[in-house]
Amino acid sequence: MHISEGIVSLPILAGCGVVAAAGTAVGLRKLDQEHIIETALLSSAFFVASLIHIPIGPGSVHLVLSGLVGLLLGWASVPAIATALFLQALLFGYGGLTVLGVNIVVMALPAVAVYYLFGPMVRGRGRFRMIGSFGAGATAVFLSTILMALALIGTDSSFLVTAKLLLLSQLPLMLIEGVITLFVISFLARVQPDLLDYSTSPT
């Protein structure tokens, strides 16, 4: 779901760059030493999951796991995702360094959003945890798609058709991400429930 270089306008590049820098600063400030290993592992999972790309117009489709990252890390998901995106751009040319701020906004802000939207449900048990986990995975992809579409349309209204196609193409991914997040959270709840303890989470 990376936006390629040379697509979005300079004002959007600059605005997203500022937002990405601010979000990363907040995430680093809230990240304590106790959660560094957890953050690094989830950043690596995000990096690996999104390596396989299927190009669609100016963007691409791939696994994201941003909903899972957001649920477990809160604001720390911004520097975690930013690090993974930077390495992908540097090593593989995915997206690109000039659009790094845009891609951080597109991928990381929805992760933070689902932390607040679905975190309380995931702290619950049974059906509430399942619904919250699925909702977080699916909603993170949906919000990222909306942000990407807005970046494209804000650059040029001619991207409207492309934005609609991107939204349609992400529908299956929303379901897949929801199911993956549900299973991972359910597994963690059984084997290491302390990872879901939001009282010690880096919010």
Does residue 202 lie within any of the structural domains?
Answer: no
How sure is the predictor about 193, in pLDDT bands with cuts at 50, 70 and 90? confident
- The verdict on residue 106 lying in a domain is yes
Task: Give the domain range for residue 114.
Answer: 10-196
Contact 71, 114 (CB under 8 A): yes
Q: What is the CATH number of the domain that holds 18?
A: 1.10.1760.20
- Could you tell me if residue 33 is inside a domain? yes
In a domain, 37, yes or no: yes
**Greatest C-alpha distance within the chain:** 49
To 5 degrees, how large is the angle CA 179–CA 125–CA 47? 35
Q: Residue 50: which pLDDT band, with cuts at 50, 70 and 90? A: confident
Round to whole Å and give the CA distance between 8 and 136.
28
Residue 50 lies in a domain: yes
Examine the pLDDT at 111 and tell me if it is beyond 80.
yes
The whole-angstrom separation of Cα 186 and Cα 89 is 32
Tally of domains within the chain: 1
φ and ψ at residue 93, rounded to 5 degrees = 75, 20
Burial group, residue 53, by CB count within 10 angstroms (0-12, 13-18, 19+): middle
- Give a yes or no: residue 4 inside a domain: no
Question: Which one, of 114, 125, 106, lies nearest residue 177 by Cα?
Answer: 114
pTM, rounded to two decimals: 0.86
